[in-house]
Each structure stands twice: as structure tokens, then as C-alpha cells.
Structure 1
Amino acid sequence: MGFFDKLGASLKKTRDSIFETIGSMVTASEITDDMYDDLEEQLILADTGVDVAMDLVEQLRKKVRAEHLKTGEQALAALKELIRDMLAADAEMDLSGSPAVILVIGVNGVGKTTSIAKLAHLYKEQGKSVMLAAGDTFRAAASEQLGVWAQRAGVPMVRHNEGADPAAVIFDAVQSAAAKKIDIVICDTAGRLHNKKNLMAELSKISRVVNKACESASVETLLVLDAITGQNAINQASQFIDAAGATGVVLTKLDGTAKGGAVISIKAKLGLPVRFVGVGEGLDDLMPFDPDAFADALFMRET
């Protein structure tokens, strides 16, 4: 299954429940105030969030007026373009360091560990050498779980004993990777509840320790969110972002929700681009996020 087909399949629940309705409604209608009102309601049902839905519809109104659009088909094309623009990243991920370090953060249960394994597999497929760091030293069996995934992905892993200082684990991993000239270090972190002050302090410490371990390292921090919990996940994310300086989002379980519209609001609400989306349980079911392909797949019509 190709990239677009896999993304399209993962969005089937969202498309069937909401966006097929939006596409049919817009293209079958004249461009009227009622159409805009119905569109806003459908976007809210798709879990874009009220503010984002209202803003998107207002932008569409302005675009229709400015470009003198007349038909529903034209309005739908304009809506897709607005969604693409809203989701576009301002820059690529910085993987220029020696090594490039990716810190992976997020609460337990969102698919953080499996996302790390999938990232490792993805970069290995691109010909890069990868090492994992088992920085979640507090959750029972977290290192063992990550170790199983490291074996499946065929990459080495640095770990310490349960209860060790997570920053020390990541420090050692980055130093080891630098010495062995490994391209990318992907680091797990503890996923205790987002309102725990000690976790926030720990994440801040981890972010600072990477460059102490190796001055030539670059750092990206990916926040893992669960698409199924949608707006709730987005609302919980701000403290993680503040503590760890998150630079992007991994959105998991996109294939398991009918409310994939939450993707649209992530950048608007968090100021972070979606970097990867999880579309299944296999090692190769994590894909770099493409706003163009996403917008097309969202409104894809079944043949």
C-alpha cells in the first residue's frame, strides 16, 4: 500500500463520519450563509475545536470574496488549501547534529514507546544509524518494553537500572552515540501525569543535558499525542511544551478515530507542526506528515 493510500485508509473513519458530509454539503450547495454555518458546525463535530472552526470558516469567507469564487467545488478546493496552509511546518526538523537527538515526551498510554520504535525503523530504512535511550526509568518494565522494540527494529539501546536518573541515561547515550558516530539518538522519557511538577523539572533537566553530553548534538523534542482523545490531548499538552521545549508533534492512532479533525487544530493551538502520524500497529505504520496529502485524503472520494 502506497503512502497516500495508507493515509487515506487511516482517515476513513474521520472521512466517513464528517468530512464526506462536508465535501458533499459544500459541493452540493450554493455559497450561502447557511452553507458557512453548516460547515462550521461540521468542523466542530470533527473535533477541530470551536475557535479553529470559526477561524477556518471566516478565512474561507474572505477567500471566496477575494477570489470571486462562485461554486461549491471552488469553495471546497479553497477549504482544502486553507487546511494545507494551516498545517504547513515553518521549517524541516533539524537533524544536522552529530548525533541528532530526538527527545520523545508525552503521557503514558498515548503510544510513546511504539512511536519510538517506529521512528527508529523509519530512519533505519533511510540508511541512518540509530540508538535508543531508555530514559523512562520509573515505570515498571518500561526499559524492558523499549528493549523488545529495539530488538524488533534492530537498533542498540542504552539503559540504566530502574529508578536511575533519566538525564544520566540520556547523557550516556548521547556520549556513546557521538563516540560511535551514530547518526540519531531517540530518547524515551517518563510519561507520568502532565500536572506533576517533578516530571516537568525532569524534562527541563533532560533538555539541558544533551548539549552537555555533546556540543555538536542537535535536539528535537517530539510530543506524542493520541488522536482518539483529540482536543483533550491538545489541552493537556501546554505544560509539556513549556517544560521540554517541544518542537513538533507525533499524532498516534489516527486510524482509530472518527474525529481526525483534531489534526487541524494542533498547530493553531499549540504552535507546533505535526511531524509524524501513526496509522497502524506495524513498525512501518508511522509516516512523516504531509499537509497536502492529508488535506487530499481527508476529502478523498471513494471509487
Structure 2
Amino acid sequence: MTNYQIITDCTCDLSKNIYEKYPLLILPMEVNLDSEVFMHTKDFQNMDAITFYNKLKNGGVSTTSQINPETFRIEFEKVLNEGKDILYIGFSSGLSGSLQSSIVAKSLLEDKYPDRKIIIVDSLAASAGQGLLVYYALLNQEQGLNIEENEKWLNDHVLNLSLWFTVDDLQFLKRGGRVSGAVAFVGTALKIKPVLHVDNEGHLVNVSKEHGRKASLHALANRLHETIIEPEKQIIFISHADALEDAEFLATKIRSTTPIKDIIFSDIGPVIGSHSGPGTIALFFFATER
């Protein structure tokens, strides 16, 4: 039976053509920008990406809130009342407490709906890396995999999902405690651009420091070329924070060295963008290892 609802949250940063094509439920998340709260939705209904990043470039300060258990309970129960099971693919537990909130909601609902399944998968990923797992889950469902088969596929492949980022402004990493104030100051002065990676525990780690923007983008392309599995069969994702030109540069570099099937671009939403800042570029693909 494929009568189950795939659910994720808006940190997945999926492109519009994907979420419009498939029966996916994407939960919104709360963003506080200069003391004004808005809900970030899949379609940027309350604030578009360009407006959001322009505000950050002009000194705006943005913080985010995880999804609470009650929100999960309400949204899950709507689906269960429709007679459907649930496959929830969540934002990395190494970066947010939202996944734990979903587990609490599951525990509150299991006794009330003993004939329904609620399966939770930790993507151990962020942005369109989480989205890439969701995309494959949707394809699996379309091809007839039942909920347990889909869960197994996701868990079997999650540590082959490779996630690489580079940021343009170190001050946002400083605010989040990823780099010290001294490192941010020196790095900014020397135009150092860090290359970051999401590890097997779903944590964001600093891997290397490149001198200049183009060097950091070349580093991302090289990581893909060295580790990608069966590139000619893969659709890879590139997400960006109001930096389409650099995303396209990265795509051109990748295509010049690696025979991939296709590339899908998407905007990094304000939940992830609040912590990485304008100009962030992120690359996602399946590889020999994370």
C-alpha cells in the first residue's frame, strides 16, 4: 500500500516545480526578523527570498524557532484522520530540536491511532540536502514503494548524501558560534571563504578555508567530482541565498568535469539563511561517503 503522506518542513528548500508536482506536505516555520515574526512557507508567501536577504545585507537580524510538539501533533492528526499513514523526513537532529518535537507528537498519537503508522526519518541534513532525500522519497512512493520500503531506502542512503556549503559573509557564522570574532575579522579582511560540510551526525563542520569566492566554488565542484556515485544517473541540487550567478558558475564548473544527468536550483529559505547569510551556496549529491 502506498496510502501514506510524506511530510517535511520548509528547511528542505525544494524548488517550486517539485513541491507543486508531488503530494508533499511542507510545514512552515517561524522566523523573527528585527523583532517582527513571520511564518516562512514553501512558497515564500510572507516574504520572498530577495527581500529577506536585502534586509540582512542592510543590517537586519534574523532568528528562527523550531517546530513545537503541538504543531506536529495538530498537523499529523489531520493526516491520520484522513486514513493515511505518515512518513516524516525531518531537519537534521544535529542542527535543530524540531525532529525531537516530531517524536514527542508521535508518542502522543500512537495510542489514539493504533491502526496507523507514523514513521520519522532523521535526514541528518539541511536545506536542499534534506530536500534531496524528500525528492527521492516522493519518487519512491510514485514508483510503488510502501512506507516501510521507503523508510529503509532513506535510512540505507542517508549517509551517502553529501552536503557542502560555502558562505560569503563570516559574520553570520560568528553569530551562530561557528567561528570566533577574531577568525571572522581576519577572514573577512583576507577574503577567506570557508567550505563547510555536514557530517555523519548531522552537524555542520568547517573543512577548509579558500582564498576568494571563486576558489571556494571550485572546491565544491572538486568535492563532487572526487566522490559522486554514478554521476550520469544523478540529479543534483544547488541551493543559493540570493546568489544565482554564483550558483550557475558552480553548475557550469561541475558540468565541465563531471557527466551528471541534471541540476536543479532552489532558493535557500530564511530559516537556513538566517544562520548562513546572503550569498551562501550549497551543493547536494549522493557520494561514496558524506
TM-score between both structures, scaled by the size of structure 1: 0.33
TM-score between both structures, scaled by the size of structure 2: 0.34
Structure number with higher strand proportion: 2
User: Larger relative CO (CA 8 A, sep 6+): 1 or 2?
Assistant: 1
Structure number with higher helix proportion: 1
